[in-house]
Amino acid sequence: MKRYLPGILAMAAIVVASNILVQFMFGQWLTLGALTYPFAFLVTDVMNRVYGPGPARRVVLAGFVVGIGCSLIGTQIMGEFGPLVTWRIALGSGTAFLAAQLADVAIFDRLRQGRWWRAPLASTLVGSSLDTALFFSIAFAGSLAFLEPGNDVSWANEILPLLGIGPMVPLWVSLATADWMVKLSLALIALLPFRMIVNRVTARPASPLAG
């Protein structure tokens, strides 16, 4: 279990940081959390490559528990416009994280015998896309208002040009698109640290006391 502790701690740190930074905007369409959360896939993929899908799922579960804890705390903290985290955001965050990360683990494991970059790239691209689609639709889509009737998400459904230049869509679609584009970009960037971390970890001699 001690072997997995660095992965668990890294995942927990990313989840906590992302839950805090998601409250702050970077420009008009992107939250700061979008710049940190994608590295959760890096942690999952490293654990999967080094230890296998079982330990990777344990790290995902640890991150899920931490994320739920952060969301529940956020629902009890009142900001200028109400709770810092609404129940829809909490539901969307938890559902998206668990579904996307488990999909990442399954796809990576299926492709692990191919070229070194194929499994982390494919699994992260699919997982990131699933995460974005689930989170933003559950948290903000007007068609799902029944999930939390008392939560006014009309601001997120204001019709505006996509990213300020495209066709007319609800604001949350632009936010989701910007988030998705950043995740895809970071999936490519993360291939280098993935390769470096895996090589470093697998090069270490196994300790007879590891358990």
List the chain residues with pLDDT less than 50: 207-211
Q: Which two tokens stand for residue 80?
A: 């200028």
CATH of domain 2-144+152-202: 1.10.1760.20
Q: What angle (nearest 5°) sits at the alpha carbon of residue 41, between those of residues 37 and 47?
A: 135
- By CB atoms closer than 10 A (0-12, 13-18, 19+), residue 174 is buried
DSSP string, 95-132: HHHHHHHHHHHHHHHHHTTS-TTHHHHHHHHHHHHHHH
**How many residues would you count in the chain?**
211
The verdict on pTM exceeding 0.85 is: yes
Contact between residue 53 and residue 106 where contact means Cβ atoms under 8 Å apart: yes
Domain boundaries, the chain: 2-144+152-202
The residue type of 7 is G
The confidence score (pLDDT) of residue 205 equals 59
Give me 58's structure tokens: 């344990």
- pLDDT, tens digit, for every residue of 147-183? 999 888 898 999 999 999 999 999 999 999 999 999 9
- Gap between the Cα atoms of 7 and 44, Å rounded: 8
- Give the C-alpha distances (Å, rounded to integers) separating 47 from 28, 82, 87, 172: 35, 38, 31, 33
